[in-house]
Structure 1
Amino acid sequence: MFYYEVICSSCKNKFRVYEGSLRYRLLKEGSNKIFRCEDCNHKIRMDAIKNFFRDRL
């Protein structure tokens, strides 16, 4: 299986983007220059959800 090693824009750690994933396709197309690892992506997403519901109350 093919993969690329990419540096996370948030934590600066290396992670792998495997062939067949959405991130791999975006990397090959060159349409997205910023990539985040699964952990950072999850943290950012959860913070956005929390802030969205906090503003609603």
Structure 2
Amino acid sequence: MIFYTSVCMGCKQEFKIFEGTQKYKQYKLDHDKKFLCDLCEGNVVDQARKNFYYKNR
């Protein structure tokens, strides 16, 4: 399986971007683009959901 390695924008750790994913396609187009690892991306999504629910009470 083909992959690229990138540094996470959130936790600053290296992670792999595997072939066939949306991140892989974006990385091939622009190698300078910053990405989040799956764990940090999940945390961002969770925080966004929490903020959305609290604001719409």
TM-score, length-scaled by structure 2: 0.93
Q: CA RMSD in A?
A: 1.5
Q: Residue type of the partner of 2:36?
A: R
Alignment length, in residue pairs? Answer: 57
Structure 1 spans left out of the alignment, 5+ residues: none
For the residues of structure 1 that align with 2:31 and 2:11, how far apart are their CA atoms? 21
For the residues of structure 1 that align with 2:31 and 2:54, how far apart are their CA atoms? 33
Structure 2 spans left out of the alignment, 5+ residues: none
Q: Percent identity?
A: 32
Q: Give the ranges of 4+ consecutive aligned residues of structure 1 lying more than 6 Å apart after TM superposition.
A: none
TM-score, length-scaled by structure 1: 0.93
Q: Deviations over 1:8-57 (max 9, x none)?
A: 00000000001111100000011871200000000000000000010001
For the residues of structure 2 that align with 1:48 and 1:32, how far apart are their CA atoms? 25
Q: Confirm or deny: 8 A CA contact 1:26 1:32 kept in the other structure.
A: no
